Amino acid sequence: MTTLSEVKTALKKYWGYDEFLPLQERAIESVLRGRDSIVVLPTGGGKSICFQAPAVTLPGMAIVVSPLISLMKDQIDSLTECGIRAARIDSSQPASERDRVIEQVINRELKLLYIAPERFASDGFISFLRRVDISLIAIDEAHCVSMWGHDFRPEYRRLGRLKESFPGVSVHAYTATATEHVRSDIAVQLHLKDPEVLIGSFDRPNLVYRVKRRTNTLQQVRDVLDRHRNESVIIYCIRRADVDELCAKLIRKGYRAVPYHAGMSAEDRKAAQDAFITEEVDIIVATVAFGMGIDKSNVRAVIHTGMPKSLEHYQQESGRAGRDGLEAECSLFWSGGDYGIWKSILANTESDQARSIALSKLNGMYDYCTGLTCRHRALVNYFGQDLEGTNCGACDVCLGEIASMDGALEIAQKILSCVVRLHERFGADYTAAVLSGSRDKRILERGHDELSTYGLLSDVPKSTTRDWIEQLVGQGYLEKVGEYNLLQVTESGWRVLHGEVVPTLIKPADKHVRVSKVAADSWEGVDHGLFEALRSLRRELAMQRSVPAYVVFSDAALRGMARLRPASVDSLLHVSGVGRVKAEQYGDLFLDEISRYCREHALSMDVAVPHRVPSLRKGRSTLNMARQAAHGLFARGMSIDEVARAVERAHSTVVEYLVSYINKEGLTEASPWVDERTYDRIADVVASLGSEPLGPIYRALGGEIPYDQIKISIAVLKNRQQ
C-alpha cells in the first residue's frame, strides 16, 4: 500500500517542495485510503497536487476530468517538465495524436490521463477505460456539476455514472469556490459514497484587494499597470465593446496588450491567449470568457473594470493572481450602473429559480463593493468562514487607504433630505447633481435649483457625493426601485434623518497606495537585479521549448534563487519549487547565470541556507515575526550566524535584520559584529569615497573585508554623524 511518506518523497522529487500546504495532506490521505472526497481550496491553494502527487506513486493511471482544453494542456506541460508521464484526449487533437495517447494508455505508460467531460457520454470510451487499472478519478472544477455553482455545465451532470462504471475506484471532486449548498449538490450529482469533505481557508493572504468607484477607467487602470511594469496582468471588462476600446487605448499608450472575448474568432482568441501565456505581451484585456482554463502562476495583478455578477465569480477571477503564493494586486473599479447591466442580463435567465439564485448572488457582490469592512474578511465571511486578527494588512481598508468621514450624520441627512424633496422620483446621478449645485438644464427646468437641498454638497466633487449615495444604499438607508433605479428612503434611512442612527461614510484617504506587508516580506533578502536576470533567462528557455515561462520555474523559485544564490546543484535543490528533474534539466544554465551576476556585483554565493526558506505557501507571512525575534537576539549580543540558526533565515537576510536593528536603536558601536580595527579601516575609506555604492569601498579595502561588515559599519557611521 502506498504511504504518505512515499507521496512526500515524490513531492520533493518532482515539484521541489519539502512539505504540503494546509489541507493537502488530508486530501491525499483520502486518496490513499480510497475514500471519495470533496476538496475546496482557493485558487493557488494547490488543488492539483492533491491528485497529481498520489497519482504518481499509486499503481495504475489516474483519470482527471477537466472542462477546458487549455487548462488540460497547461497542467500536462507542467507535469511533463517535472518528469511525469501525462497526456490528454480531447476533440482538438488530430486522430493520429489521439491514437498515440490511446496506445500509451493500453501500454500502461501514463500516470495521468486528462479527459473532457463530454467523453463520458460514450459507452465505448468507458468500456475502453475499463481495460486499464485506474488508481483514482479526479473531477477538476467540480462546481460545474451544480446549478448553484457559478459555472454550471450540463455535461458535468453525466459524471455521476463514473461511480457505477468504475466500482471500487474512488472519486474526488476539487473546486476553488463552493458554498455549502454547492458542496451538497456535488456529492449528490456525482453519487459519492460517504465523501470526506475538506474545506480550506478561502482567504488568499498574498492578494491585496482594492475596491474603488469607477471615475476614469483608463487612468485608474493605468495607475495599477504602472505599479506592475513588465509583469503579467489580466484586465476584465463586462462587455466585448469595452474590451476592444480599452485594449486599443492601452496599446496607443505604449502598453503591450491583447484583447480576448467570445466575439473574436477561435484562432484570434488562441493567438491572444498564447501571447499572454508565453509573455510576448504583458496584459490581456478580456471578458470573463477568459481565464478558467489558465494555469499561469505569475499573474501579478487582476483588474476588474466593472462589478462581477457574484462573489464566487470574483473569488475565482481575482484568484488568478498570485497562484505562485507571491504578492499580487486585485483592483476592482465599479459603478452603480454595473448592477443594472447585470440585472438586465439576468432577466433573460431560463428559469425563475436560476434567476432568483443569480439575483441573490448579485446582491452579495454589490454589498461587497459598497461595504466598509476588511476585504479579506468580507470574502471569507461570504463563504461561511472568519478571519483571525483585526487587520489583514492586505486591503485598502486595513492599509489605511480609505478613511471615515467626519460629520457623516450631517452629510447623510443632506443626501436623504434631497431624495425626499425630489419626491423619491430620481436616480443617484440626478440626486448627486442637485446636491452638487449643477446648472444642468434638466435641473433648472424642473426648478430643483430652488430646493433647500440644492448645492448643499457643492464643496466636494460630484463623484464623491455619488459615492456616498452608493454607500448609503449599501448600508440599507436608501434603496433603488423600479426599472430606472429610483432612490427611496428606507425605514432605517428615516431613523438617520431623525438622528437616531449614525451611518459610516468613507472617502479616499490622502495617501499614496501603500506597500502591503506580504509584498515587503516576500522580497526580503532577494537581489532584485539577479531576479530580473533569471527572469530573462527563463523567458529565453521557455521560448526555445515552446512552453509558458512559469512552467520552467515559478517566480517564487526565481526569488528563492536570488535570495540564496546557490553555487551548485545540491544548493539549488534547497530552493523551494526546484525538483530533481528540473535541476538536472536547467540547473547548469541557472547556476551559470547566478555565478556571472555575483561576480559582476561582488556578491557572495551559497549564502547560509536556512532550514526553512521564507515562503508564503504556508499562509499569512511570519517574516516580520522573524525580524522582531532577530532584533531581540541582537540585543543580547548574539552573532549573525547564531541568529540565523535561531530564526531559520539566510545569513544575508539576517544581516539586513541587523542593519535595521542598528538603525532602529541608533547604535553607535559596531561591536560585537565588527571588530574595532576593521571598523576604523572601513570608516577611513568611507570618509574618502562616500558610503555608496559598496563596490568601490570593497575594492579599496583590497577585497579583504566582507560586504556584510561594510554594511554594518556604514549603518553605525550614519548614526554617529546624526
The per-residue pLDDT for range 4-58, each reduced to its tens digit, is 999 999 999 999 888 887 789 999 999 999 999 999 987 767 889 999 999 999 9
Q: Are 36 and 193 in contact (CB under 8 A)?
A: yes
Question: In whole angstroms, what is the distance from residue 393 CA to residue 53 CA?
Answer: 33
pLDDT of res. 193:
92
Domain segments of the chain: what residues? 4-199, 207-401, 403-508, 523-600, 623-721
Look at the domain 207-401 and name its fold.
Rossmann fold (3.40.50)
User: Model confidence over 624-641: pLDDT tens digits?
Assistant: 556 767 887 888 888 888
Terminal Cα distance for the chain, rounded: 68
Q: Hey, which residues does 113 pair with through a beta bridge?
A: 63, 87
pLDDT of res. 147:
58
The CATH superfamily label for domain 523-600 reads HRDC domain (1.10.150.80)
With CA atoms as reference, report the closest residue to 159 among 121, 131, 195, 125.
121
Rank 162-166, 169-173, 292-296 by mean pLDDT and report only the highest: 169-173
Q: Which of 50-64, 101-115, 511-525 has the lowest mean pLDDT?
A: 511-525
The pair phi, psi for residue 706, each rounded to 5°, is: -60, 150
Question: In whole angstroms, what is the distance from residue 399 CA to residue 508 CA?
Answer: 12
The cell numbers describing 534, all together, are 533569471
Q: Give the whole-number percent of the chain exceeding pLDDT 70.
A: 92
The cell numbers describing 238, all together, are 463586462
Pairing, β 486-489 against β 112-115: unpaired
The mean pLDDT of 656-679, rounded to a whole number, is 87
The mean pLDDT of 688-711, rounded to a whole number, is 80
Mean pLDDT of the chain: 86
Other residues' Cβ atoms within 10 Å of the Cβ of residue 668: 13
Please indicate whether the domains covering 4-199 and 207-401 agree at the CATH topology level: yes
Pairing, β 112-115 against β 61-65: parallel
Question: Taking the complete model, does pTM exceed 0.75, yes or no?
Answer: no
Give the pLDDT band (50/70/90) at residue 611.
Answer: very low
Question: In whole angstroms, what is the distance from residue 585 CA to residue 591 CA?
Answer: 12
Per-residue pLDDT at 622 exceeds 50: no
The pair phi, psi for residue 281, each rounded to 5°, is: -125, 160
The mean pLDDT of 389-407, rounded to a whole number, is 83
With CA atoms as reference, report the closest residue to 558 among 46, 16, 11, 9.
16
**Hey, what CATH class is 403-508 in?**
mainly alpha
pLDDT of res. 612:
41
Q: Are 524 and 253 in contact (CB under 8 A)?
A: no
DSSP secondary structure letter of residue 51: H
Per-residue pLDDT at 422 exceeds 90: yes
Other residues' Cβ atoms within 10 Å of the Cβ of residue 671: 11
pLDDT of res. 516:
62
Question: In whole angstroms, what is the distance from residue 91 CA to residue 117 CA?
Answer: 11
Per-residue pLDDT at 619 exceeds 50: no
User: Model confidence over 542-574: pLDDT tens digits?
Assistant: 888 888 888 899 998 999 999 899 999 988 998
pLDDT of res. 515:
58
Question: In whole angstroms, what is the distance from residue 49 CA to residue 6 CA?
Answer: 14
The mean pLDDT of 370-390, rounded to a whole number, is 84
pLDDT of res. 608:
58
With CA atoms as reference, report the closest residue to 258 among 284, 282, 279, 234.
284
Give the pLDDT band (50/70/90) at residue 221.
Answer: very high
pLDDT of res. 306:
94
From the candidate CATH numbers 3.90.100.10, 3.40.50.300, 3.80.10.10, 3.50.30.50, the one assigned to the domain spanning 4-199: 3.40.50.300
Cα dihedral value 96, 101, 103, 104, nearest 10: 150
pLDDT of res. 548:
84
The mean pLDDT of 53-77, rounded to a whole number, is 89
Q: Which of 147-161, 248-262, 342-356, 534-548 has the lowest mean pLDDT?
A: 147-161
pLDDT of res. 707:
79
Give the pLDDT band (50/70/90) at residue 101.
Answer: very high
Give the pLDDT band (50/70/90) at residue 476.
Answer: confident
DSSP secondary structure letter of residue 351: S
Rank 19-28, 173-182, 380-389 by mean pLDDT and report only the highest: 19-28
pLDDT of res. 7:
94
The cell numbers describing 335, all together, are 459603478
Question: In whole angstroms, what is the distance from residue 485 CA to residue 494 CA?
Answer: 19
Question: In whole angstroms, what is the distance from residue 300 CA to residue 307 CA?
Answer: 20
Question: In whole angstroms, what is the distance from residue 62 CA to residue 139 CA?
Answer: 11
